[in-house]
Chains A and B, each alone.
Chain A
Amino acid sequence: MPSLNNLFGFLQDWISGKLSGFLPPWGVTLAMMVITIVALLLFLVVTVMYLTYLERKVLARIADRLGPNRAGPLGIAQPVADVLKLIVKEVIVPARADVPVYFLAPVVMVAPALLPYAVLPFGPRMVPADISVAVLFVPAVTSITTLALLMAGWGSGNKFSLLGGLRAVAQKVSYSIPLLLAFLAVVLVSGSLSLVRIVEAQASYPFLLAQPLGFIIALICCVAEVNRSPFDIPEAESELVAGYHTEYSGVGFAMFFLAEYIGMFTVSAMLAILYLGGWHGPLLPPYIWFLIKVYLILCVMFWLRGTFPRVRVDQLMNLSWKVLLPLSMVNVAVVALVDKLGLRLGFLPGLVAGLVVMAVAAAVLRTRRRARAAAAARPAWQVREA
């Protein structure tokens, strides 16, 4: 069992032991780095291929359909067929495109989407690079994709692409602030910016229990950050054709798709690490526990997509600036206060405080909505000009 728990650690030792026979020490280090990178890239590409399959199957079940079932048993070869199709498709460059920007955008999209995997811890000895600022590194790097969305929108020379790109920028910057404030509360109680330290701090209980409000804020923001339904305003088909990637075909389109699904996996992994206790769990090996938690959050995202209608653009901005931002500030203050009180009751004070804040927020939002509905129901001549 210990060998299974630390499978990748043993694999690492075995390979580096074999290599040190004929390579100098720096050569072994470099070779191990290259092997890790290749393994990570392979893992990501296969994961994305089968995430599309899983999503289509889950959505099909929600809609009472069968989903892909033609290519191979249970449609299991469908992602392979999709990839092949995308590779051999013609790359159509639109006549009005700004060609350098048009081709740079997929690169600027995919490279930052891949980078977080250099620091994400999959298990105790499965941390590619344990850098001390990883909590900031991941949002900082992934926010570069915002630039790529604007570049794609601008470079395509299509007004709907441009509008989609701008909406994506407005949305991503708006939701990154409550997200960072929610992560801040986790940093506050764990006392470290290293993802490994944060997971180790959750050995007794996951932070989900101590900061339920923070988790909900972070979950909503993460779904919005990766432009997923119900926050898929930047690619709203009914308004914007297909948004920023309207004019991309073949591999260019595939790159945007790849980055989107990698982004989904990244935010789910961040939520699992920061709130669900990362690799901690009984019986099963740590990396299995980590993947179970990540896929749990991914399935919640599929579920959201299968259930909720798309929000309107003004609702989207209001939710971020008028609800999530004040709430995340309150969350930081409450978590800091509970931490300073120093009650030795584990997660209970945090849980109670979080639930109280949520109940108050829900009551305030409900009265505001009632007031607005009442104002809308009154005849126009009774409504005073504000």
Chain B
Amino acid sequence: MLNHYAFVGLFGVVAILFPVAALVVGALAGPRRPTPAKRARYECGLVSQGESWVQLRVQYYIYALLFLVFDVETVFLYPWAAAYGQLGLFALVEAVIFLGILVVGLAYAWTHGDLQWR
């Protein structure tokens, strides 16, 4: 079992080295003749207007918050699911109550208009 995790770790190291090596090879193999026109921002040939780091809509932040809540709750359900075969009927009731609380949260966000893309 420990061997398996060691393998995953070793694979992780190789997985990081692989793109690094590819980037290095690419940098060595390709030419390097930068000109101002080449280095300009590419916007389909039009001259770029304004700043590149623009203001963003707050909507993204709300989705991130919602995601955090629901993702953590979903991960909490995994141990329950893995042990479900050994649990009694009460486990089903409990999980439905848990899901019900999640549904209330979703309904709140929905009626509050947080799921509306503006």
Contact = CB atoms under 8 A, between A and B. Distances in A.
Nearest to B83: A191
Given A36-B7, A187-B82, A166 B56 contact: yes
Interface of A: 29, 33-34, 36-37, 40-41, 86-96, 103, 106-107, 109-112, 114-115, 117-119, 128-132, 135-137, 154, 157-160, 162-163, 166, 169-170, 173-174, 176-177, 180-181, 184-185, 187-189, 191-193, 241, 246-247, 250-252, 254-255, 313-314, 317-318, 321-322, 325-326, 329, 332-333, 336-337, 339-340
Contacts of B36: 95
Contacts of B71: 173, 176-177, 180
A250 B96 CA distance: 51
Interface in B20-57: 20, 22-23, 25-27, 29-34, 36, 38-44, 50-54, 56
Q: How large is the interface on B (under 10, 10 to 19, 20 to 34, 35 or more residues)?
A: 35 or more
A111 B8 contact: no
A323 B42 CA distance: 37
Contact of A111 (B4, B18, B26): B18
A193 B15 contact: no
A247 B41 contact: yes
A42 to B, nearest CB: 11
Given A90-B33, A110-B15, A241-B42, 15 more contacts: A88-B29, A90-B32, A92-B39, A114-B14, A129-B11, A159-B41, A159-B53, A177-B67, A184-B81, A193-B82, A252-B26, A254-B26, A255-B19, A314-B117, A322-B115
A41 B18 contact: yes
A41 B11 CA distance: 10
Given A90-B33, A111-B16, A157-B53, A180 B23 contact: no
Interface of B: 1, 3-8, 10-12, 14-16, 18-20, 22-23, 25-27, 29-34, 36, 38-44, 50-54, 56, 59-60, 63-64, 66-67, 70-71, 74-75, 77-78, 81-86, 89, 92, 95-96, 99, 102-103, 106, 110, 115, 117
Contacts, number: 213
A228 to B, nearest CB: 20
Contacts of B19: 106-107, 109-111, 255
A252 B41 CA distance: 16
Contact of B63 (A88, A89, A160, A317): A317
B10 A325 contact: no
A41 B75 CA distance: 30
B85 A89 contact: no
Identify which of B11, B50, B95 gathers the most chain A CB atoms within 10 Å of its CB: B11
Contact of A88 (B6, B8, B30, B52): B30
A79 to B, nearest CB: 16
A255 B23 contact: yes
Nearest to A88: B29
B33 to A, nearest CB: 7
Given A130-B4, A317-B117, A180 B54 contact: no
Contacts of A88: 29-30
B16 A321 contact: no
A185 B23 CA distance: 41
